[in-house]
Structures are given as structure tokens and as C-alpha cells.
Amino acid sequence: MQAPRPLTRRDALAGVASTLSYPAIAGLRGEPDFDVLIVGAGAAGIAAARRILVAKRTVAILEASDRKGGRCFTDVSSFNLPYDQGASAIHLPTQSPLVKLAMQNSIELYPEPQVYEVRSRNPAKLGKSLEEIHSKLDLEQFHVDRVRCYAAIKKAAASEDDISCAEALPTDLGDWRQTMEFVLGPYRFGAELTELSTKEYAVTIDRDPARLCRQGVGTLISALTLGVPIKFFSPVTLIDWGDRSVALATAEGMVTARTAIITASTAVLASGKIKFKPKLPPRYSSALEKLRLGSYDHVAIEFNGNPLGLEANEVVFEKARTSKTAALFANVHGTRLSILKIAGRNAAELADNGDEAVRGFALDWIAGVFGSRAGKSVLRVHTTSWNKQPWTLGAFSSAPPGAHEARKTLSEPLNDAVWFAGEAIDQTFWGTVGGAWRDGERAADSVIARLNRK
């Protein structure tokens, strides 16, 4: 069901702009300007706004950047193809409302094929038949060891202590350990296994296969903003939550509301870019510090044809010798575009060294895994740098030991007036677009209940 539109987009935006033009002081100026103000036009913010519009409450989203979607961003200009720079799949499809919403908006979702390959470096040194034998044996061992690692993590999660996943892994992985550490840690969650809780990780192991989005996940989230009032280029710098209403400071002045939902990333909130008055209670600031974002970047590579000989949406891992490895998502949606996924500490270090370092690593990885000829078929390359996006400062949340308590803390409102929402706060679907959407709806439902009580 589409959200009703009590305000037209033009009227809503004009209303937000008008409000911001006249500074107000929270608690001293009569009626608040809105029932609800939302910080951030990502999946959580959009989900919350839609819910609030259905409840016929006045709402506006203040977005720091020039676009909607947050970490869901489909780039259609770099390659003239839909290219998700951020979130690229819908996880937990049987439980996610996004699947139904995609159908209602003519956005095509289809099951992730789960086609994998494992390759060793310098394949040209092997004869073709010998290479094929090695590849089959490696893939079998890859699956066996991954199942063993999952079983070890589940066993550790059942114990009283919450230890890191790295401590729980089998000790006899041998030369597969680096591969397992990358696939289970950085590739899945943008963080090293030393930084991931066994108790939190265990609930993710049996997640349903994801759905891929042919038009792009960012396109899907953007399609769901119809009728939602968004004020772009409006970074919030201060949230005054100490009085009977909430006041948010932007470059154009103060705007007030009865309640607010903050969907800015935990990394942005922990950085101090948005101040709170009074200061956040220590348990909130501690929770934000604990739920920092991992590092995850995409290097999009357009090849001339299919020189790597891979299937559509095939995933290629390297039998890694070091932690400096990656994974290739080949021929995305059957196109000429492939995405090299760089994650964890390696991604963070490369990002610190700039775009050329990221690009150089990607092309070296392709040459090392597929042979030097592969590089000659590269037409164009595009790299992301989510750690350097000023209003994101990372990819998505990871779950260190003790993360559950941190999420529980951030799910509780401040002064019955300010709620936090986002993928990092969802109790079980953290790290996913569906988790962000669901948590935005959770916060909105709590806000609506509060407004109805008052």
C-alpha cells in the first residue's frame, strides 16, 4: 500500500525551507514546526517517514547530501548501466517488506545464483587440465572449511562468554585460514574476524539467500520516496533535546519538532559532527563507539567482452596467502560490468592512500588471479571510498563482542523525544538494507505511539 500524501512534494519542501528561514528556540516558541523531524534520507529515514505519513502526522527529512538513499546508491552514469556503489542486494527476502515494495514499483528482484569459484595466483603456470582439477578440489575444500568454521562459531556462541570469531575458528585450517578469515569477516561484514562477536555472528549464519536487484538497490529505495518531503543540503549540526520539544540546528537556522528520529550513521554520530544538548548520556556515546562501521569498497571494472570466461553473477575468491585479498562479483546481471569487493582493514588502508592505490590493487589482483592478459581487456574503472564520504564515514555496521547491548541501548529513546534508527540498531538484521528499513519502521511506530499518548 502506497503511503498517502497529505502534502505535495513542492508544498512540503517549500514548508521545510520556510521553516528553516526563521530561527526558532525549542521550548520557547509556541507550537513546534513539525510532529516529527528525521535526520538522514537513507533507507531507515525513508521507511520512518512513510510510516509517519500514513499516520497523518507532519514530517520532514533533513538530508546533509544532495541525494536520497544514503548508503544505497545506484550510479547509472559512470557506465551507462545500473551500478550499486553501496548496498547491492536485499537480504532476508522472506522477511523483508522491501520485496513486496519492489514488486509494487516494478523493480525486478531475483535470487542470488550462489555460483562460486576459488582460484590460486598465477594460473598460467598450470596446464589447463591441471588447473581445472585444482579448481574443483579447491572449491570442495572451500565449502568444507566454511561449514566447519560456521559450526565452530555456533558452538562458541552457545557458551557463556562472548568471544571473537577469530578465537573460535578451527586451528587446523592450514593454508586455507587466510581465505576463511576474509570470506567470513571482511567479505561478509566489512570487519576482521577479531572484531566480530560469535554470539552476534551466529544469528546471521542461516540467513536466507539474498535477492539481487536488476535496476539497483539504490533505485529501489529512491522509488519509495514518492510524497516524502526531503530537504537536501541540510546537515544538522546540533540536536537540542532537553526541553518539551526538540530543536535541530542547520545552516539556515533552528527547526523544531515534537519528536525526532536520527538515522545518521553510527560513525557520523560517534565523530561528533552532530552535537547534542545536553550531551548524550555515557551509555549512548559508548554504544555509538562500539557500533562503528566497517570498511567495504567496490571497484567497478568494465571489460571488453567476457575475457575472464565467467558466468553472470559468479563470485570468485582467491586462495589467499595474506589478508590483502578481495573477491570478484563478475558480469553483474549479465552485463559487461564486474565488481571487485575490497573490505576490512585492507580496504581501510587502501582508502587512506587514495583512489590510485585502490585502483592499482584491483588491477594487480585481476592480473594475479586471472593472468596478465586480463588487464588488457579493461575499458573503464570506478572506485568507491565510503570511509571518506563525509556524511557516512564507513560502510555498514559490524558486531563486536557486546554489540547486542549497544544496539539495545540505542533502540531506547532520549527523553521520550529523540529516537535513533538504522541498520546498526536492528537487533537481528544488522548490516542489511532490510534491517535499516525495519528499524526505521520500529522507530516510527514508537514515535507515533508517543504522539498519540500526548
Residues 313 and 197 occupy one common structural domain: yes
Residue 440 located in a structural domain: yes
Residues 184 and 322 occupy one common structural domain: yes
pLDDT at 5: 33
pLDDT at 4: 32
Residues 147 and 169 occupy one common structural domain: yes
Residue 55 located in a structural domain: yes
| Total number of domains constituting the chain | 2
pLDDT at 18: 41
Residue 84 located in a structural domain: no
Residue 89 located in a structural domain: no
Residue 77 located in a structural domain: no
The grid cell for 409 is 541501548
pLDDT band at 173 (very low <50, low <70, confident <90, very high): very high
Residues 403 and 417 occupy one common structural domain: yes
- The residue among 364, 388, 412 that closes a domain is 388
Residues 31 and 43 occupy one common structural domain: yes
pLDDT at 68: 96
Q: Report pLDDT digits (tens) over 380-398.
A: 999 999 999 999 999 999 8
The answer, yes or no, to whether residue 112 has pLDDT greater than 50, is yes
pLDDT at 209: 85
Report the pLDDT averaged over residues 23-44. 77
The helix/strand/coil state of 243 is: coil
The grid cell for 29 is 516558541
Report the pLDDT averaged over residues 352-377. 94
Residue 86 located in a structural domain: no
Phi, psi of 326 (to 5 degrees): -160, -175
Phi, psi of 150 (to 5 degrees): -60, -45
pLDDT at 61: 98
Q: Report pLDDT digits (tens) over 394-403.
A: 999 988 988 8
Residues 194 and 244 occupy one common structural domain: no
pLDDT at 135: 67
The answer, yes or no, to whether residue 231 has pLDDT greater than 90, is yes
pLDDT at 165: 97
Q: State the Cα–Cα distance between residues 372 and 169, nearest whole angstrom.
A: 35
Is the distance from CB of 90 to CB of 436 less than 8 angstroms? no
The answer, yes or no, to whether residue 269 has pLDDT greater than 80, is yes
The answer, yes or no, to whether residue 133 has pLDDT greater than 90, is no
Residue 51 is part of a domain; what is its CATH number?
Answer: 3.50.50.60
Q: State the Cα–Cα distance between residues 34 and 28, nearest whole angstrom.
A: 15
Residue 217 located in a structural domain: no
Q: Report pLDDT digits (tens) over 50-109.
A: 999 999 999 999 999 999 999 999 999 999 999 999 999 999 898 889 999 999 999 999
CA dihedral (304, 306, 312, 315) positive or negative:
negative
Residues 26 and 150 occupy one common structural domain: no
Q: What percent of the chain has pLDDT over 90?
A: 80
Q: Which domain holds residue 183?
A: 115-208+294-388
Residues 234 and 355 occupy one common structural domain: no
Residues 166 and 123 occupy one common structural domain: yes
The answer, yes or no, to whether residue 438 has pLDDT greater than 90, is yes
Q: State the Cα–Cα distance between residues 310 and 338, nearest whole angstrom.
A: 10
Residues 190 and 243 occupy one common structural domain: no
Residue 363 is part of a domain; what is its CATH number?
Answer: 3.90.660.10
Query: Nearest 5 degrees, angle CA 349-CA 122-CA 338?
Result: 60
- Check residues 132 and 44 and name the one with the higher pLDDT: 44
pLDDT at 207: 76
- Average pLDDT of the chain, as a whole number: 90
Rg (CA), the chain: 23
Q: What is the pTM of this model?
A: 0.90
Residues 266 and 333 occupy one common structural domain: no
DSSP result, 51-100: HHHHTT--EEEE-SSSSSBTT--EE-SSSSS-EESS---B-STTT-HHHH
Residue 80 located in a structural domain: no
Q: Report pLDDT digits (tens) over 176-226.
A: 999 999 999 999 999 999 999 999 999 888 777 899 999 999 999 999 999
The answer, yes or no, to whether residue 239 has pLDDT greater than 80, is yes
Is the distance from CB of 160 to CB of 314 less than 8 angstroms? no
Residues 336 and 278 occupy one common structural domain: no
Scanning the structure block, which residue is given the C-alpha cell 516524502?
Answer: 228
Relative to beta strand 418-420, strand 327-330 is: unpaired
- The residue among 357, 388, 419 that closes a domain is 388
Report the pLDDT averaged over residues 28-42. 87
- The residue among 388, 407, 438 that closes a domain is 388
